[in-house]
């Protein structure tokens, strides 16, 4: 099986789908001839033709609006928004349109669109190339949000998203595109070579939406994470010495509540880790769910480790980015209580 | 209906790609001096030809011709030339600093230096510019301290924006330069609101905003034009049409169908199309629009027709998507060379003085970079970490206070 980095795995998913289904097409800023600023659509226009993968005007609202129209007609458009920070100009199209078209038309129209977008920090991208907006989408009923943490999942989840009949946002952790990253920024860069999750089949397969993965089994605490933070969590758990179970949620809507409840019920402790700022972040929802469903099993308060409640500051990348040390401290705190 | 050919989807494509001959040299352009100059108080309905002309003052020999020749003293012209040269030297030096790992990111405005330089000199100290990342000649023309600029690019301890912003996303209120942000287009409407406020207060200040031609696709552009039109906002709305938006040519923003200046027609405001590489033309058109705005006649849309001679940013390699010879083939030349030529034809400049000035500016930039390096480059020096938490609100709320404590800063 070939080893692929996350960019190649995503490219392979798109290639497979364009080859299989003439009703899929890709559009977004710089995705056509150039192949995308992160190279995810590299070669697809050349291979599949101009109208299967083409450049879009710099109008995120326009991109999502036209994707919805194409989807309503019967296509399966795959839109790229160049950075997740720039989904915000399209928010009304996602919230009031894509998410509700099926409901309000009683199933006459729907929007089977996929929106791919690189998200997250760790690349010195400053305030508007680093954000993690997943909580905003999770709050909107009718939108699904998927966040892979490795190449194998990235391809399988993207294919599942494209084949899903509802709107799905695929947030791609840009810091993981070329290799795993555990938050230890002063160590040498790793690539995906030799990592088992980077063994990616060439052909078609899916990873179902709404199924968390147990990345590490443990008895003393449960860590909930997704995207880049899965790798940070692995390092943080090691650093803490706590025998923690690590769940990679993979999709936050639909959410695999069963796996979460089973794990926390077993361990009795829960620490939630995300890169987005903390207040109103998705960790708040997870914390409430765990508290509601596992209250009698909990031995200590649920802890949240997250970005600070500030914009993402350029010079302070590593002061902002929640690294393994902060997770380890939270795990130790959870054990003390 | 059955006999019609089936519909087909049109996807625009540029005239040439890498390995092909660029088509830019063959673009049909009006001659210098050809486009007429209406009175600044003229009725918009009588100027709807202007968006399809091209205001050009300097001819191929560097001689000023036609109805748009502005009256600018040789001293001011020399200042304009100096500002453009400084911008280019600064850009080249800081681009190299990025390659040497001293910062995370940089963007040059090579070939577009006339725009910010001329416009900042035409507008007054109290007027406000709402910039893009590609008009840094505005700051250079107004004498923004070079060392502070480099400190910002290095996000070091003396960064005037306290390490909170990406390199070159400056904010410089005292220089009439509004706060930049990484998301494109979203300040275009701020300029209109600022101008409306000035009118509301009976003040005399006007606003000037920039947007790239690619970004005219955003709703922000059309919203701003609507408000400017409705309220006769005293502002100058500028599209810098440098032909490329990262890898997308101007056709992806609708440039194959009409001119960007012609968007003004639908809003009932004047639209001027100007050679953006001609310092005198930019000067004259801006002066015209400013006079109109100050006479309570409202907004003007100016398309500055230019060419992005360098890559989009330090992350970009333009030879991947456009012919390598295209910058050379650009028919409207280099704004610095053209103003230099003009000054020489006026006998106000010569090659020796030009070379001396280039050396002097090079030295200034060197010193500024040295001073900033002494403070520190990215990752080697930064403002106190407490600055991360400052300025979220005017008064910090409990979250910020608690989190600062948690981080111990
Ligand atoms: C809202 C938003 N969408 C997308 C981007 C990514 N992006 C940065 S610059 C750019 C191209 C802008 O082109 P143009 O407006 O023509 O200006 P130029 O860079 O050519 O000066 C894009 C797409 C962004 N910064 N903000």
Residues A181 and A298 in one domain: no
Mark B211-223 as b/e (b = at least 16 C-beta within 10 Å).
Answer: bbbbbbbbbbbbe
pLDDT at B39 over 80: yes
Q: How far is CA A142 from CA A63, A117, B257, in A?
A: 19, 18, 38
How does pLDDT run across B150-168, given as a tens digit for each residue?
Answer: 999 999 999 999 999 999 9
Residues A83 and A141 in one domain: yes
Residues A313 and A176 in one domain: no
| A308 contacts B164? CB cut-off 8 A | no
Mark B120-137 as b/e (b = at least 16 C-beta within 10 Å).
Answer: bbbbeeebbbbbbbbbbb
B237 C-alpha to center of ligand 1: Å?
17
Contacts of A125 in chain B (CB under 8 A): 104, 166
**How far from chain centre, in Å, is Cα B40?**
23
Q: Does A284 touch chain B (CB under 8 A)?
A: no
Residues A168 and A251 in one domain: no
The domain containing residue A121 runs over which residues? 3-199
Residues A52 and A186 in one domain: yes
pLDDT at B2 over 90: no
User: Which of B300, B305, B188 lies closest to B244 in space, CA to CA?
Assistant: B305
Query: Which residue has tokens 């669109």?
Result: A113
Mean pLDDT of A53-76: 98
A327: CB partners within 8 A, 6+ apart = A223, A232, A233, A236, A237, A239, A240, A271, A273, A305
User: Which of B110, B253, B221 lies closest to A58 in space, CA to CA?
Assistant: B253
| pLDDT, mean over chain B | 97
How does pLDDT run across A99-127, given as a tens digit for each residue?
Answer: 999 999 999 999 999 999 999 999 999 99
Give the mutation candidate from A315, A323, A329 for the B interface (greatest B CB count, under 10 A): A315
Contact A191, A235 (CB under 8 A): no
Q: So what's the pLDDT on residue A337?
A: 74
Contact B238, B264 (CB under 8 A): no
User: Ligand 1, residues A82, A85, A115, A130: which to mutate, most atoms within 8 A of Cβ?
Assistant: A82
Main-chain dihedrals φ then ψ at residue B56, nearest 5 degrees: -130, 135
Q: Nearest CB to B399: which of A85, A125, A309?
A: A309
Residues A158 and A225 in one domain: no
Identify the residue whose C-alpha is closest to ligand 1 atom 23: A58
For chain A, the domain total comes to 2
Give the residue extent of every domain in chain B: 25-311+322-378, 384-409
C-beta of B134 in contact with ligand 1 (< 6 A): yes
Domain boundary among A177, A199, A221: A199
Is residue A57 domain-resident? yes
User: Which of B61, B80, B11 lies closest to B282 in space, CA to CA?
Assistant: B80
The CA-based dihedral angle spanning residues B248, B249, B253, B256, taken in that order and rounded to the nearest 10 degrees: -150
Residue B46 to residue A220: CA distance in whole angstroms: 79
Tokens of B75: 């001293």
Task: With cut-offs at 50, 70 and 90, classify the pLDDT of residue B3.
Answer: confident
User: Which of B86, B47, B117 lies closest to B277 in space, CA to CA?
Assistant: B117
Is residue A205 domain-resident? no
Q: Nearest CB to B385: which of A62, A127, A319?
A: A319
Tokens of B46: 């009588």
What would the 3-class secondary structure string for A73-117 be?
Answer: HCCEEEEECCCHHHHHHHHHHHHHHHCCHHHHCCCCCCCCCEEEE
Contacts of B247 in chain A (CB under 8 A): 30, 33-34, 55
User: Which of A172, A254, A176 lies closest to A208 in space, CA to CA?
Assistant: A254
Q: So what's the pLDDT on residue B25?
A: 87
CATH assignment of B25-311+322-378, among 3.40.50.1360, 3.20.20.140, 3.40.50.970, 3.40.50.300: 3.40.50.970
Residues A184 and A241 in one domain: no
- Count CA atoms within 13 Å of residue B188 on its CB side: 28
Q: So what's the pLDDT on residue A284?
A: 98
Considering only the C-alpha atoms of chain B, give the largest distance between any 2 of them, rounded to a whole number of Å: 76
B118 C-alpha to center of ligand 1: Å?
23
Handedness of CA A45, A51, A54, A60 (dihedral sign): negative
Considering only the C-alpha atoms of chain A, give the largest distance between any 2 of them, rounded to a whole number of Å: 60
Q: What residue in B sits closest to A306 (Cα-Cα)?
A: B403
A274 is catalytic: no
Q: How far is B279 from chain A (nearest CA, A)?
A: 28
Residue A54 to residue A72: CA distance in whole angstroms: 20
Mean pLDDT of B376-388: 97
- Whole-number percent of chain B with pLDDT over 90: 98
B212 C-alpha to center of ligand 1: Å?
7
Mean pLDDT of B37-54: 98
CATH no. for residue A104? 3.40.50.970
Mean pLDDT of B320-324: 97
User: Which of A256, A239, A251, A314 lies closest to A290 in space, CA to CA?
Assistant: A256
Contact A127, A86 (CB under 8 A): no
Query: Which residue has tokens 């890169």?
Result: A275
CATH no. for residue A222? 3.40.50.920
Residue B34 to residue B57: CA distance in whole angstroms: 9
| B217 contacts A58? CB cut-off 8 A | yes
| pLDDT, mean over chain A | 98
C-beta of B151 in contact with ligand 1 (< 6 A): no
Mean pLDDT of B334-344: 98
User: Which of B278, B293, B161 lies closest to B234 in space, CA to CA?
Assistant: B293
Domain boundary among A199, A232, A249: A199
Query: Which residue has tokens 């890898």?
Result: B247
Domain boundary among A155, A175, A199: A199
Is residue A204 domain-resident? no
Residues A282 and A321 in one domain: yes
Residues A190 and A246 in one domain: no
Q: So what's the pLDDT on residue B4?
A: 86
Tokens of A337: 């209580």
Q: How far is A99 from chain B (nearest CA, A)?
A: 21
B300 C-alpha to center of ligand 1: Å?
23
C-beta of B242 in contact with ligand 1 (< 6 A): yes
Is residue A206 domain-resident? no
Main-chain dihedrals φ then ψ at residue A213, nearest 5 degrees: -115, 135
Mean pLDDT of B299-327: 97
B399/B2: higher pLDDT: B399
What would the 3-class secondary structure string for chain B be?
Answer: CCCCCCCCCCCCCCCCCCCCCCCHHHCCCCCCCCCCCCCCCCCHHHHCCHHHCCECCECCCCCECCCCCCCCCHHHHHHHHHHHHHHHHHHHHHHHHHHCCCCCCCCCCCCCHHHHHHHHHHCCCCCEEECCCCCCHHHHHCCCCHHHHHHHHHCCCCCCCCCCCCCCCCCEHHHCECCCCCCCCCCHHHHHHHHHHHHHCCCCCCEEEEEECHHHHCHHHHHHHHHHHHCCCCEEEEEEECCEECCEEHHHHCCCCCCCCCHHHHHCCCEEEEECCCHHHHHHHHHHHHHHHHCCCCCEEEEEECCCCCCCCCCCCHHHCCCCCHHHHCCCCCHHHHHHHHHHHCCCCCHHHHHHHHHHHHHHHHHHHHHHHHHCCECCECCCHHHHHCCCCCCCCHHHHHHHHHHCC
User: Which of A206, A214, A175, A170 lies closest to A192 in space, CA to CA?
Assistant: A175
User: Which of B210, B39, B188 lies closest to B120 in space, CA to CA?
Assistant: B210
| B218 contacts A89? CB cut-off 8 A | yes
Residues A16 and A94 in one domain: yes
Residues A8 and A139 in one domain: yes
Size of interface A-B (CB pairs under 8 A): 130
Q: So what's the pLDDT on residue B1?
A: 64
Is residue A121 domain-resident? yes
| A309 contacts B403? CB cut-off 8 A | yes
**Cis peptide bond prior to A268, omega within 30° of 0:** no
Residues A123 and A31 in one domain: yes
User: Ligand 1, residues B14, B134, B184, B306: which to mutate, most atoms within 8 A of Cβ?
Assistant: B184
Residue B151 to residue B167: CA distance in whole angstroms: 9
């Amino acid at each position: 099986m070939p080893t692929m980095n996350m960019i190649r795995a995503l490219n392979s998913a798109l290639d497979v789908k364009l080859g299989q289904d003439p009703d899929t097409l890709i559009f977004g800023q710089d995705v056509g001839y150039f192949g995308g600023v992160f190279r995810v659509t590299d070669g697809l226009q050349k291979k599949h033709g101009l109208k299967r993968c083409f450049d879009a005007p710099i109008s995120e609202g326009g991109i999502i609006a036209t994707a919805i129209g194409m989807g309503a007609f019967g296509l399966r458009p795959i839109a790229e928004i160049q950075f997740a920070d720039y989904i915000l100009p399209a928010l009304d199209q996602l919230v009031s349109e894509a998410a509700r078209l099926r409901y309000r038309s009683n199933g006459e129209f729907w929007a089977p669109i996929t929106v791919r977008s690189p998200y997250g920090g760790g690349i010195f991208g400053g305030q508007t190339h680093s954000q993690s907006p997943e909580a905003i989408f999770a709050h909107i009923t009718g939108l699904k949000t998927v966040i892979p943490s490795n190449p194998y999942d990235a391809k399988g989840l993207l294919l599942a998203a494209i084949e899903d009949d509802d709107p799905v946002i695929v947030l791609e952790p840009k810091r993981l595109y070329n290799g795993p990253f555990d938050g230890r920024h002063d160590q040498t860069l790793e690539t995906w070579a030799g990592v088992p999750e980077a063994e990616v089949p060439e052909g078609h397969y899916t990873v179902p939406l709404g199924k968390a993965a147990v990345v590490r089994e443990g008895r003393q605490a449960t860590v909930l994470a997704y995207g880049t933070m899965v790798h940070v969590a692995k390092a943080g758990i090691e650093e803490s010495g706590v025998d923690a179970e690590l769940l990679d949620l993979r999709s936050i809507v639909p959410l695999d509540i069963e796996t979460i409840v089973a794990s926390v019920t077993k361990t009795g402790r829960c620490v939630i880790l995300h890169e987005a700022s903390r207040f109103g972040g998705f960790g708040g929802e997870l914390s409430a769910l765990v508290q509601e469903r596992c209250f009698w099993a909990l031995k200590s308060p649920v802890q949240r480790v997250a970005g600070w409640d500030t914009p993402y500051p350029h010079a302070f990348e590593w002061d902002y980015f929640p690294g393994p040390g902060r997770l380890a401290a939270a795990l130790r705190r959870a054990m003390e209580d | 209906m059955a006999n019609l050919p089936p519909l087909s989807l049109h996807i625009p494509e540029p005239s040439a790609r890498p390995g092909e001959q660029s088509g830019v040299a063959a673009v049909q352009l009006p001659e210098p001096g050809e486009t007429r100059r209406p009175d600044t108080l003229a009725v918009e309905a009588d100027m709807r030809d202007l968006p399809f002309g091209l205001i050009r003052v300097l001819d191929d020999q560097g001689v000023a011709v036609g109805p748009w020749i502005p009256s600018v003293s040789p001293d001011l012209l020399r200042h304009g030339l100096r500002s453009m040269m400084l911008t280019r030297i600064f850009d080249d030096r800081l681009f190299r600093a990025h390659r040497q790992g001293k910062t995370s990111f940089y963007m040059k405005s090579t070939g577009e230096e006339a725009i910010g330089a001329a416009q900042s000199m035409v507008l007054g100290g109290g007027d406000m510019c709402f910039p893009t990342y590609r008009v840094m000649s505005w700051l250079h023309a107004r004498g923004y301290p070079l060392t502070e600029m480099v400190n910002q690019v290095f996000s070091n301890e003396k960064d005037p924006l306290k390490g909170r912003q990406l390199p070159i996303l400056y904010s410089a209120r005292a220089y009439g330069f509004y706060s930049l942000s990484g998301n494109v287009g979203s300040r275009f409407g701020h300029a209109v609101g600022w101008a409306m406020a000035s009118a509301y207060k009976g003040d005399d200040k006007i606003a000037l905003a920039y947007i790239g031609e690619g970004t005219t696709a955003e709703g922000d552009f059309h919203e701003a034009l609507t408000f400017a039109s409705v309220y006769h906002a005293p502002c100058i709305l500028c599209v810098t049409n440098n032909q490329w938006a990262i890898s997308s040519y101007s056709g992806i923003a609708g440039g194959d169908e009409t001119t960007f200046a012609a968007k003004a027609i639908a809003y009932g405001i004047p639209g001027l199309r100007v050679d953006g590489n001609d310092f005198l033309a930019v000067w004259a058109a801006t002066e015209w629009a400013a006079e109109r705005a100050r006479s309570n006649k409202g907004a003007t849309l100016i398309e500055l027709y230019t060419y992005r001679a360098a890559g989009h940013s330090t992350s970009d390699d333009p030879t991947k998507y456009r012919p390598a010879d295209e910058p050379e083939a650009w028919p409207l030349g280099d704004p610095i060379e053209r103003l230099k030529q003009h000054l020489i034809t006026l006998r106000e400049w010569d090659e020796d003085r030009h070379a001396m000035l280039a050396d002097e500016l090079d030295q200034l930039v060197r010193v500024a970079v040295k001073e900033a390096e002494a403070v520190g480059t990215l990752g080697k020096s930064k403002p106190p970490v407490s600055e991360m938490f400052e300025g979220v609100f005017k008064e910090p709320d409990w979250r910020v206070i608690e989190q600062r404590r948690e981080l111990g800063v």
